[in-house]
Chain A
Amino acid sequence: QKEVEQNSGPLSVPEGAIASLNCTYSDRVSQSFFWYRQYSGKSPELIMSIYSNGDKEDGRFTAQLNKASQYVSLLIRDSQPSDSATYLCAVNLNDMRFGAGTRLTVKP
């Protein structure tokens, strides 16, 4: 089992819709969870971090963490074409482990 698993997608949503990105992880001891956005040909950029069970909101982004289910998700409200990118889930124990990423396309 991979340490961090994401649906590879691609995920396509219309402009203005909610995009939902999911991630599961295998190590129950993990304490820190992150979402990165990576535009094509660019480096990953940290957009959200979450450490406690529940929801964390930052503008149009909401991260959700459920440690019992070993599940972390990212919701993007009012999706814009500029949100089209690959989203990487990452889990940090002693070092940062990344999922393979989910490619999101927001269609105008």
Chain B
Amino acid sequence: EAQVTQNPRYLITVTGKKLTVTCSQNMNHEYMSWYRQDPGLGLRQIYYSMNVEVTDKGDVPEGYKVSRKEKRNFPLILESPSPNQTSLYFCASTKGAGSGYTFGSGTRLTVV
């Protein structure tokens, strides 16, 4: 089954404790992206990647890191999480700029 897999689905952590949210797609897509979704603000792009080793900042990159060492994987790293990063996170992938995204199931992160 073609899909984007995110883990974990739910995560509660404490301020300052580094964490990684994994994302993997099995569709051989070139493009991958991370979004966060907050009430009233919609989906905001954190980082995106157009190919292996090519990443770029989205609208809200502060406090986040990404890497794209393999085409299928695009992990999101929070080096020192803060409470304002409490949000619902989505990873998504697409075969090209003119195609729609396939989204992962989401990761609900709470930073206390």
| A interface residues, Cβ below 8 angstroms from B | 31-32, 34, 36, 42-46, 49, 51, 88, 90, 92-101
| B interface residues, Cβ below 8 angstroms from A | 33, 35, 40-43, 45, 48, 58, 90, 92, 94, 97-106
Are the C-beta atoms of B98 and A92 separated by less than 8 Å? yes
* A32-B102 Cα distance, complex, nearest whole Å: 15
Are the C-beta atoms of B103 and A45 separated by less than 8 Å? yes
Q: Which A residues touch B97, using CB under 8 A?
A: 32, 92-95
Distance in Å from the Cβ of A47 to the closest Cβ of chain B?
9
Distance in Å from the Cβ of B16 to the closest Cβ of chain A?
28
Distance in Å from the Cβ of B49 to the closest Cβ of chain A?
10
Are the C-beta atoms of B42 and A99 separated by less than 8 Å? yes
Q: Contacts A31-B98, A51-B98 known; A44 to B42 CB distance under 8 Å?
A: no
Are the C-beta atoms of A44 and B41 separated by less than 8 Å? no
Residue in A closest to B48 when the chains form the complex, CB atoms: A95
Distance in Å from the Cβ of A16 to the closest Cβ of chain B?
28
Are the C-beta atoms of A88 and B48 separated by less than 8 Å? no
Are the C-beta atoms of B102 and A46 separated by less than 8 Å? yes
* A51-B43 Cα distance, complex, nearest whole Å: 22
Q: Which A residues touch B104, using CB under 8 A?
A: 43
Residue in B closest to A101 when the chains form the complex, CB atoms: B42
* A43-B102 Cα distance, complex, nearest whole Å: 9
